[in-house]
Amino acid sequence: MEPLEKEIQECENIKELERLRIEVFGKKGYFASEFTKLKTLEGDEKIAFAAKVNETKEKFTALLKTKKEFLENREATDALKKDAVDISLYGNISGVGALHPVMSTMDRVIEYFVSLNFSIEDGPLVEDDFHNFEALNLPKFHPARDMQDTFYFKDGSLLRTHTSPVQIRTMLSQKPPIRMICPGSVFRPDLDLTHTPMFHQIEGLVVDKKGAVSFANLKSILEEFLKHMFGDVAVRFRPSFFPFTEPSAEVDISCIFCHGKGCRVCKNTGWLEILGCGTVDPNVFKAVGYKNVSGYAFGLGIERFAMLLCGVPDLRSLFEGDLRLLEQFK
């Protein structure tokens, strides 16, 4: 019996213990054969033997029970240890993104004009001379072309210098009345603190029956729009020149940083130049074959808005892809 007892004591797993239990208590096991022996004995000898066998039986029952409990316990602890989660480890958390200031500003402008029932139009980034210049009353060799020097391709097509060609495309493909905006990227060969070779504009165009749209409408819509974007600012219209509008104006708002007192951002003028606009030049309507209509147009640079609204001092930093900049706008 000792070897079995030793084996049980040294047993290391439950399966093995079960095998030993069968060896001890099973039908063909140790006690089965002991009880068979009992049949061959008589009298006192039988009583003594039976008592001894029972005593051994109790011993084994207890031994198996303790061992089983011990092994089950150990298995459970091992399983717990194996499944344990180290809550001090860094998680696999992916960062939350943020809209680029240019895109969020663009969205704000678009939302405003869409709420006023403007449709959103689109046009190609690679334009031809007709849509980008000619039809906008900028004939070849016109000195105003200097304002918008551009990147040309060998076949004469060019990267659009403004979103105004979309005015032409929309008027050529639709009948008046028109009430559209066009957001998109534009290109000019400039690079400094406030210029990048690619930037974004939003164009606006409203055309209706002659006399139905005036400069006064343009003024009021832009004033409301600028107050919506910048809060309680003063708005002023300054006479200016664009070949495709007549009369033309540049629009300023009172400096949002110094409230008109004069600072570095407004170059001590108290005003920030913010967009260009005007009533549509008759030559533009002629180029698209529109008759008996009047209209107004405006164009604004999104980056300029974004820099002012988000306090970004260097325009170039908007396009460097530095996450530290983006993370500030979550």
Minimum CB distance to ligand PHE smaller for 254 or for 279? 279
Alpha carbon distance 190, 196 (integer Å): 6
**Cβ at position 244, least distance to ligand PHE in Å:** 6
Query: What order do you get walking across the sheet with 293-301 strand by strand?
Result: 119-120, 178-187, 198-209, 293-301, 271-280, 245-254, 235-242
Comparing CB distances to ligand PHE, the nearer of 137 and 245 is: 245
What are the beta bridge partners of residue 297? 205, 278
Cα-to-chain-centroid distance, residue 129: 36
Instruction: Quote the least distance from Cβ 323 to ligand PHE, whole Å.
Output: 31
User: Which lies closer to ligand PHE via its Cβ, residue 290 or residue 298?
Assistant: 298
- Provide, rounded to whole angstroms, the least separation between the CB of residue 186 and ligand PHE: 7
327 close to 251: Cβ distance less than 8 angstroms: no
> What is the nearest approach in angstroms of ligand PHE to the Cβ of residue 278?
5
Q: In the complex, what is the shortest distance from the CB of residue 324 to ligand PHE, in angstroms, rounded to a whole number?
A: 31
Alpha helix positions (H), 29-42: 30-39
Q: Which is nearer to ligand PHE, 67 or 304 (CB)?
A: 304
Element (H, E) at 247: strand 245-254
Shortest CA distance to 249 belongs to which of 260, 238, 259, 262?
Answer: 238
**Identity of the residue, 245 or 254, whose beta carbon is nearer to ligand PHE in the bound complex:** 245
The residues near 129 (Cβ < 8 Å, ≥ 6 apart) are 140, 156, 157, 158
Name the minimum Å distance from CB 303 to ligand PHE: 12
- Both tokens assigned to 152: 């040309």
Would you say 60 or 298 has its CB closer to ligand PHE?
298
Structure tokens at 131: 């849509």
- Residue 239: asked if its preceding bond is cis (omega within 30°), the reply is no
Minimal CB distance residue for ligand PHE: 299
C-alpha to C-alpha distance for 301 and 70, rounded to whole angstroms: 77
**3-class secondary-structure state, position 91:** coil
Given a contact cutoff of 8 angstroms between Cβ atoms, the answer to whether 329 and 101 are in contact is yes
User: Is the C-alpha dihedral spanning 109, 110, 111, 115 positive or negative?
Assistant: positive
Distance of CA 128 to the CA centre of its chain: 34
- Cα dihedral 287, 300, 148, 191 in deg (nearest 10): -160
Nearer to ligand PHE, 64 or 166 (CB): 166
Contact 222/250 with Cβ under 8 angstroms?
Answer: no
- Measured from the CB atom, the residue of 8 and 218 that comes closer to ligand PHE is 218
> CA torsion angle for 218, 309, 110, 321 (degrees, to 10)?
140
- Identify which of residues 187 and 271 has a Cβ nearer to ligand PHE in the complex: 187
Q: Tell me the closest approach of the beta carbon of residue 116 to ligand PHE, in angstroms.
A: 17
CB of residue 239 to ligand PHE, shortest distance in Å:
13
Interface residues with ligand PHE (CB under 6 A)? Answer: 162, 164, 203, 242, 245, 276-278, 297-299
Closest separation between CB of residue 276 and ligand PHE, Å? 3
